[in-house]
Chains A and B, each alone.
Chain A
Amino acid sequence: MLARFVDFCIGRRALVVTVIGLLTLLMLGAASRIHVGTDFEDLLPRHHAYVEVHNRFKATYGSSNAVTIVLEAEQGDIFRTDFLERLRTVTLELRKVDGVNPEQIISLASRKIVDVRSSSDGLESRPLMFPEVPSDAAGLAELKARVQRNGLVLGSYVSRDLGAALVTVDFYDHLLKPEEAFRQIRAIADAVAGPGVRVRMVGEPILAGWVAYFLPETLTILAATLAVLGALLFLFSRTWRGTLLPGLAGFTSGCWALGVAALAGIQFDPLVIVVAFLITARSISHSVQLVTRFDDELKAGAATAREAARKAMFGLFKPGMLGVIADAGCMIIVILVPIPLMQKVAVIGTVWVSTIALSAVVMTPVLLSWVRLPVRHAHPINLMPGLDRAMAGLARRVVGRNAYSVVAVAGVVFVVSGWFAFDIRIGDANPGSPILHQDSAYNRDATEINRRFPGTDRMFVVLAGEQADDIKRPEALETMNRFQRYMEAQPEIGASLSLADLIPVIKRVMRDGNHHYEEFGRNQNENGELLYLFSSGGADPSDLERLADRDFKTGAVTLFFRDHQGDTIRTAVARIKEFAAANPLPGMQLLLAGGFAGVTAAVNEVILASQIESIALALLVLVLCCAVTYRSPNAGMFFMVPVILANTLTFSFMAWKGIGMNINTLPVAALGIGLGVDYAFYIIDDIREELRHGKSLEEAIALALAGAGKGVTVTAGTLILAVAMWGFSSLRFQSEMALLMAIWLGISAFSALVLMPAMVVVFKPGFVMGTARAASVARPLQSIQP
């Protein structure tokens, strides 16, 4: 049947090429309309308890996309008219940014920052600096004095050293377009920055904006990578077909994958470009294998190009398809990760890998059949004799006693790397954003802001009562206060804010500003009166919204984090749970957790379990594929070795380099699971075929390395060199992922070239060696051998 399929493809080659070509053109059309960008809601795990709390309360207690903008006075303090005017300009202009929630723009210059004073009829809440900036020295001194005495402003919106002012702005998630927001906010910042005033900003939309800002550079590097790739292929293969056909295979697969993604309405996250390249690399590898085999068949005496193409396609169809199916199977598993972005990546990746079956396994031999004989070389540099000698030397060295040493060393490497793999950090491993370099403008801004202010990464925890006014109960407020004290013991939590901070201030103001009266009301009614006085004194009801809902059934405690490293957030979450368990409050519940740090906690919680689960299920897919193909459960075990080794080595590399397992690295790690094995398929299949033809084990290994092994070396070498281009990326994430991929490809190639032959020598597995049992079931396959 396989023979008939091969004959059909080669025989009706014009039809096959036309159909695939037309379909590819259609897909190219669709692919050109793909939307590149980050959808923030895609990053949150579905149905996670924290995410549900976040989504329920984010409109008032703060989304995960808040942006923090800080204006710094380069000399002296901020209490100068020109500086405050700039602060006011930023505060007002931010309203015009697309997707902004105008109720959530807060700064010294906004109406929401009020000073509570006592007046003849109760309380007066007067904006500190709204609508106008004081213009004379007396006004500025008065403002400065008021800021210094206001514990809810000093430290939070004006730095303690009075040298910087902070603006927070929040977005409606569904209206937010990070690139646009970034561009508009930068324009505002550039307009007010100038001599004496420096503007810094952080937040997820800003980060996404920077990533988008580097998109042209990313594409340039991608183009450079492809150029290097082509040049190297041309150098090695010395033929146009050896260069263009793998390129065409990669291009075709890319069109199909992006086309399907565009048709399915999936947008393409720029950070996933690395994954795309990883898959393209696979299709190029497959294609190179076919071209190499084609050349070998010609050398072995195939009469025509058609004949050589037919033999190459027939010989490599099984290991090729096995590689494709195993890769695709491992990739579709990722859909089980309950994060929409990962599911989309899984879909795109699976489609992409599957198309290799068409673009490389079918198209490459079909196109090869048109090659005109005799073969001429396109340039005189011939690296092949050297490569042949290297392969022959390798083949001599991996047999005999050395094989045992190789297996033993691999065993030791596995144990050691397996041990270090456990050091991998879940979540971000360093302060700042791991996507950008440590000395990037964004990370410098983040460091500086977090040094001056209590922390820009916010998490809110909700204290939920059962009926209106529950939050006004003294025991509820006291619980909040104790919770805040408990949480602030963690050094990375710079501050916290809740209704329990506001009520004592109102009471103090009511008692002539006497500090001895900075305390809660004695009962629910008194707390209610204090809040009523605050609201009726001129404060807008929405001013309380970031602390409690309108009927005071729930209240929020906002925690300010100085960093969002995995450990920081994990410790905080563990402590919140500890506190909740030790301090049950009848009729009330402490709900985790919203805001950026809250959803990050949710993501981190699903990542580890998902990753281990993905590895397990991917291995299961691999074992099943191998066991079915080779009719031997041992085959599954055999091919698991390079995959597990690649995983432990990669994990320990990530642990060593401090690359945390987070939403960005997860796709690469998850998709890499199955990708390490197809080199091994080609080598082992070659060895097996040669043994079948009556060669000795030594000869079979030598022939396999000379044939498939050469292809593996060429592709791995080419790809590793090409990937090095990403080292120039301004996005640290891409540099690191490229390095990770290079390591991955290197380990895979090493496993295939050295470890797998050595394992065959040491273990002599039945499915390779062709023992009676294996041979008997394999006979039907052999009977169709031409």
Chain B
Amino acid sequence: MSSRSSFITSLAPLCIIGGLLYAALYIKPAGGGTALEPPVIAPRDHFYAMVQAAAGQFWAVGNDGKVVLGDGRGRWQVQASGTRAHLQAVDAWDARHALAVGNEGTVLSTGDGGQTWVKVAAPVSATANKLMRVQALPEGQAVAVGEFNTVLLGSAYGRHWERLTPEQDVAWYGLAVRGSRITVAGEFGRLMQSDDLGRSWRAITTPTEAHLTAVAFADERRGVAVGLNGTVLLSEDGGRSWQAVGQGGEEHLYDVSWDGRRFVACGDRGLLLESVDGRAWKALDAALGEARNFLWFSRVVPGAEGLLLAGATLGVVHGDRFISLASEAAGTSGPASAAPR
């Protein structure tokens, strides 16, 4: 063995040991795939509202500024809303134009199908400014209502807003617009109406002190308002007078809609009711089974293929079947099994 190779072999062990020590100091186990895609619908998500904008195009909005666009088959994609405020309501003019409103006076508007949501400044109160409802009207107009006597009229697809009512300590939760008649319902059984798109208002007395959460009309005369503790009010004169109607339960009701042939209402504990005349109500929740006990729905609106439900989860009711839209797998199955938190 030559002296040179002997020199090399005697250095080799030191090199190996040095290399290992270096490795011990600087090699860390790999972090292992930190770029995880969060699930589109997370267990923490609550969806306060959903709307069908066009065939196969649904928007749902919810807590922590979540906006998702779906195909009605359980496939959803998250859209960047740019806000963390809870979004309480959404409505759309068409496949491209939509509005979402929510906590902290948030008004979001899109003109490109939700690719970009733009935050719009609206004349809300600095004291209390949660916006609870929005409704799109023809020609790019819209109305939104919320806390501190807020009723806003929007134009240019929600880019511009004016305040229709002075700041007062009353929160409005429900909204129904037919033609130029606006009906708003709110806390402590309060209700008011305008026949001139909000230029002038008349207060309407109702036979309840419960908070009213929603109001809807079937035609010029017949309307229903619902509220907490199972409250249901019926009007047969276009909203000028209201009478309490029993529906057999005391769970909170959060929404009521007219789907063209009947009123539908939803609320806590998976409560889902229907009534053709607004007076005789029957439960529609057989499809929910056991799951109804921990589900709640804050919005029920008609969609092309059935009733759309938003709340603890997203779903659609076809006839007497409830189909969860909260996961792709559930999009094909029958009774609700989706478990919210």
What residues make up the interface of A, taking CB atoms closer than 8 Å to B? 144-145, 148-149, 151, 154-155, 160, 426, 478, 481-482, 484-486, 488-490, 495, 512-516, 518-519, 566-567, 570-571, 573-575, 578, 604-605, 608-610, 612-613, 615-617, 619-620, 623, 632-634, 636-637, 640, 644, 763-766, 771
A148 contacts B293, C-beta separation under 8 Å: yes
Pick the contact of A489 from B38, B132, B269 — CB < 8 Å?
B38
B24 contacts A612, C-beta separation under 8 Å: yes
Judge whether B64 is part of the interface by a CB distance below 8 angstroms. yes
Top 7 A-B pairs, shortest CB-CB distance: A633-B10, A574-B31, A616-B20, A489-B38, A613-B24, A612-B24, A148-B293
Question: Count of B residues near A, CB < 8 Å?
Answer: 55
* A765–B1 CA distance with the chains assembled, in angstroms: 7
* A174–B28 CA distance with the chains assembled, in angstroms: 32
Per the 8 Å Cβ criterion, residues 281-331 of B in contact with A are 293-294, 296, 298, 311
A148 contacts B294, C-beta separation under 8 Å: yes
Judge whether B211 is part of the interface by a CB distance below 8 angstroms. yes
For B274, the chain A residues whose CB sits under 8 A away are: none
10 contacts between A and B (CB under 8 A): A144-B293, A148-B293, A512-B211, A514-B228, A514-B254, A605-B28, A608-B29, A617-B21, A623-B14, A634-B1
A634/B269 contact (C-beta < 8 A), A574-B32, A613-B24 known: no
* A413–B21 CA distance with the chains assembled, in angstroms: 24
Judge whether B202 is part of the interface by a CB distance below 8 angstroms. no
Pick the contact of A604 from B27, B29, B38 — CB < 8 Å?
B29
* Whole-angstrom distance between the Cβ of B191 and the nearest chain A Cβ: 18
B28 contacts A578, C-beta separation under 8 Å: no
What residues make up the interface of B, taking CB atoms closer than 8 Å to A? 1, 6, 9-10, 12-14, 16-18, 20-21, 23-25, 27-34, 36-39, 42-44, 46, 48, 63-64, 84, 86, 88, 103, 130, 132, 173, 211, 213, 228, 252, 254, 268-269, 293-294, 296, 298, 311, 339, 341
For B32, the chain A residues whose CB sits under 8 A away are: 567, 570-571, 574
* A148–B339 CA distance with the chains assembled, in angstroms: 11
* A632–B13 CA distance with the chains assembled, in angstroms: 12
Pick the contact of A513 from B16, B64, B103, B252 — CB < 8 Å?
B252
For A632, the chain B residues whose CB sits under 8 A away are: 10
For A515, the chain B residues whose CB sits under 8 A away are: 46, 48, 252, 254, 268, 296, 298, 311
* A640–B33 CA distance with the chains assembled, in angstroms: 36
B29 contacts A615, C-beta separation under 8 Å: no
A516/B298 contact (C-beta < 8 A), A489-B36, A634-B10 known: yes
B23 contacts A578, C-beta separation under 8 Å: no
* Whole-angstrom distance between the Cβ of A159 and the nearest chain B Cβ: 10
* Whole-angstrom distance between the Cβ of B262 and the nearest chain A Cβ: 24
Smallest CB gap from A604: residue in B = B29
Pick the contact of B33 from A154, A571, A604, A615 — CB < 8 Å?
A571
* A637–B1 CA distance with the chains assembled, in angstroms: 14
A634 contacts B6, C-beta separation under 8 Å: yes
- Interface hub of A513, A515, A519, A636 (most chain B Cβ within 10 A): A515
A637/B12 contact (C-beta < 8 A), A151-B341, A154-B294 known: yes
* Whole-angstrom distance between the Cβ of B41 and the nearest chain A Cβ: 12
Smallest CB gap from B29: residue in A = A426
A571/B34 contact (C-beta < 8 A), A566-B29, A609-B24, A616-B24 known: yes
* Whole-angstrom distance between the Cβ of A184 and the nearest chain B Cβ: 34
A488 contacts B42, C-beta separation under 8 Å: yes
* A566–B31 CA distance with the chains assembled, in angstroms: 10
* Whole-angstrom distance between the Cβ of A645 and the nearest chain B Cβ: 13
* Whole-angstrom distance between the Cβ of A105 and the nearest chain B Cβ: 24
A608 contacts B228, C-beta separation under 8 Å: no
For B228, the chain A residues whose CB sits under 8 A away are: 512-514
* A610–B173 CA distance with the chains assembled, in angstroms: 62
* Whole-angstrom distance between the Cβ of B7 and the nearest chain A Cβ: 9
For A512, the chain B residues whose CB sits under 8 A away are: 211, 228, 252
A764/B84 contact (C-beta < 8 A), A485-B42, A633-B13 known: no
* A519–B102 CA distance with the chains assembled, in angstroms: 12
For A573, the chain B residues whose CB sits under 8 A away are: 31
B16 contacts A640, C-beta separation under 8 Å: yes
* Whole-angstrom distance between the Cβ of B188 and the nearest chain A Cβ: 11
* A236–B252 CA distance with the chains assembled, in angstroms: 86
Pick the contact of A481 from B1, B14, B64, B296 — CB < 8 Å?
B64
* A68–B174 CA distance with the chains assembled, in angstroms: 46
For A514, the chain B residues whose CB sits under 8 A away are: 211, 213, 228, 252, 254
* Whole-angstrom distance between the Cβ of B10 and the nearest chain A Cβ: 3
A609 contacts B25, C-beta separation under 8 Å: yes
* A679–B30 CA distance with the chains assembled, in angstroms: 37
A574 contacts B298, C-beta separation under 8 Å: no
* Whole-angstrom distance between the Cβ of B29 and the nearest chain A Cβ: 5
A636 contacts B38, C-beta separation under 8 Å: no
For A570, the chain B residues whose CB sits under 8 A away are: 29-32
* Whole-angstrom distance between the Cβ of B64 and the nearest chain A Cβ: 7
A766 contacts B1, C-beta separation under 8 Å: yes
A636 contacts B23, C-beta separation under 8 Å: no
* Whole-angstrom distance between the Cβ of A248 and the nearest chain B Cβ: 37
* Whole-angstrom distance between the Cβ of B273 and the nearest chain A Cβ: 17
Pick the contact of B88 from A484, A516, A764 — CB < 8 Å?
A516
Pick the contact of B34 from A426, A482, A575, A616 — CB < 8 Å?
A575
For A518, the chain B residues whose CB sits under 8 A away are: 46, 63
* A771–B37 CA distance with the chains assembled, in angstroms: 66
For B294, the chain A residues whose CB sits under 8 A away are: 148-149, 154, 160
* A765–B12 CA distance with the chains assembled, in angstroms: 15
Smallest CB gap from A623: residue in B = B13
B341 contacts A485, C-beta separation under 8 Å: no
A612 contacts B20, C-beta separation under 8 Å: yes
Smallest CB gap from B48: residue in A = A516
A484/B29 contact (C-beta < 8 A), A514-B252, A612-B23, A636-B13 known: no
* A155–B38 CA distance with the chains assembled, in angstroms: 20
* A570–B30 CA distance with the chains assembled, in angstroms: 8
A623/B17 contact (C-beta < 8 A), A516-B88, A516-B298 known: yes
* A514–B88 CA distance with the chains assembled, in angstroms: 12
Smallest CB gap from A565: residue in B = B32
Smallest CB gap from A626: residue in B = B13
Given contacts A489-B36, A615-B20, A616-B21, 19 further A-B contacts (CB under 8 A): A145-B269, A151-B341, A485-B42, A488-B38, A489-B39, A514-B213, A515-B296, A515-B311, A516-B130, A516-B173, A518-B63, A570-B29, A605-B29, A608-B28, A609-B27, A616-B20, A619-B17, A634-B1, A764-B1
For A488, the chain B residues whose CB sits under 8 A away are: 38, 42-44
* A483–B16 CA distance with the chains assembled, in angstroms: 43
For B18, the chain A residues whose CB sits under 8 A away are: 616
Smallest CB gap from B3: residue in A = A773
Smallest CB gap from B341: residue in A = A151
* A245–B223 CA distance with the chains assembled, in angstroms: 102
For A616, the chain B residues whose CB sits under 8 A away are: 17-18, 20-21, 23-24
* Whole-angstrom distance between the Cβ of A143 and the nearest chain B Cβ: 12
* Whole-angstrom distance between the Cβ of B23 and the nearest chain A Cβ: 5
For B13, the chain A residues whose CB sits under 8 A away are: 619, 623, 633, 636-637, 640
B84 contacts A478, C-beta separation under 8 Å: yes
A485/B254 contact (C-beta < 8 A), A149-B294, A619-B17, A766-B6 known: no
